[in-house]
Amino acid sequence: MPQGFFPVDPSLYNLSREDLSFLRLLTGITDDEELKQHVLAIQAKAYEICPYPCIRHFTFAKQPITRIPYYERVLAFGRENPDALFLDLGCCFGSDLRKVVHDGWPVNRAIGSDLIPGKHAYTHSLYPKI
């Protein structure tokens, strides 16, 4: 990890019931402790190349997009407009993108991209079922 950054801190692991449920679905891991260890391992590896607050604070394992007041309207827009694209720039591990697709956005019209290409490998490690 580059100097000058806070180290990872497992005590910051605090996921909601909804976040845990979605992670269980996408990882296939049902045991809470095993799931936590899986997320902590991915976090530690990813933080080595990307010491970002969203990785340190486990935002990558949460679904903050669902807390946006107009989230349901976005999903409806995707269903009602066959040319609409969902573009997630700076998608990190693609958690929001996966949630949007899971909730009904057509997968063939969902695009995620991130500036750091090394994060892509951790995406597949975090979500091995997909």
User: Residue 110: in which H helix or E strand, if any?
Assistant: strand 110-113
- How far is residue 127's CA from residue 119's CA, in Å, rounded to a whole number? 13
pLDDT band at residue 1 under the 50/70/90 scheme: low
**Whether the Cβ atoms of residue 20 and residue 32 lie closer than 8 Å to each other:** yes
Q: What is the dihedral of CA 128, 27, 95, 53, to 10 degrees?
A: -90
Find the helix or strand (DSSP H, E) in which 102 lies: helix 95-102
Mean pLDDT of 27-35: 97
CA distance 90 to 27: 22
Task: Supply 56's token pair.
Answer: 């340190």
Mean pLDDT of 13-17: 97
Whether 72 has a pLDDT exceeding 90, the answer reads yes
The per-residue pLDDT for 123 is: 82
Is the predicted pLDDT of residue 121 greater than 90, yes or no? no
For residue 130, is pLDDT > 80? no
Unique residue bearing structure tokens 């933080």: 47
